[in-house]
Structure 1
């Protein structure tokens, strides 16, 4: 019998309800994390382009660029780091160690609650990525950092609630 024989190779037992629950959990978190990671890359590229095209080159008289010109690039780099940290936290979020036990407790209203958390995570990740969608070097100073921070804070709260819900099983 091969039931569960490939679990160490695949990492997920797809033949049981508990294994499919684990697979769904991974899919939800991976999708949201990829959106945030792509947004972080977009911001990072814009910051590098800003440094290359807008900041004046170093000279002996002025080895460092003026602080007011460098401020948008520094803010963008911090914003990209927050997006990357949120993506990493999503990828590394814990799942109950015993998925079979978790699945038994998730039947019915528990599964609906988990689905609500998953939908909310998807929507919030899509919104957080769309906040910084049109960022580029020429408009880096107009990067909506406050809105991006708020979107990431909401996503983090939802992830914390989801983790708390799953750890309580």
Structure 2
């Protein structure tokens, strides 16, 4: 099963400051039904912000998308069985490796799956730390950009 237009949101906002939030609607995801293996990827330049300058700084200064153009995840949905998933959300443990900014980090989170008329929806919501991926936030902006980044994904695999 494959999704070509998955959504990934991330937020690194700090209260009382301008939101640091972006979205990509071009992430891909594949799910192997026999094993529960899942792979996803997104081009960093596909993340869009409300403010163009913020997007430029994100690509050039933080993510260095010219050098590290893509983020990817490869893992397993533990206990995956298509026959036990219905139209009500069901939680599964998701374990794998997130590769971002030239670094890899183990991720252990919850994936919520549910059947829809046109496929299988897979959603996640987890946090990562910028330091784990060697993403440097300039001292002058450290009060305005959170080190802990929330990542939410939504894939409809068909």
TM-score band, normalised by shorter chain:
under 0.3
TM, length-normalised to structure 1 = 0.22
Higher strand share: 2
Q: Which has the higher contact order (CA 8 A, sep 6+)?
A: 1
Higher helix share: 1
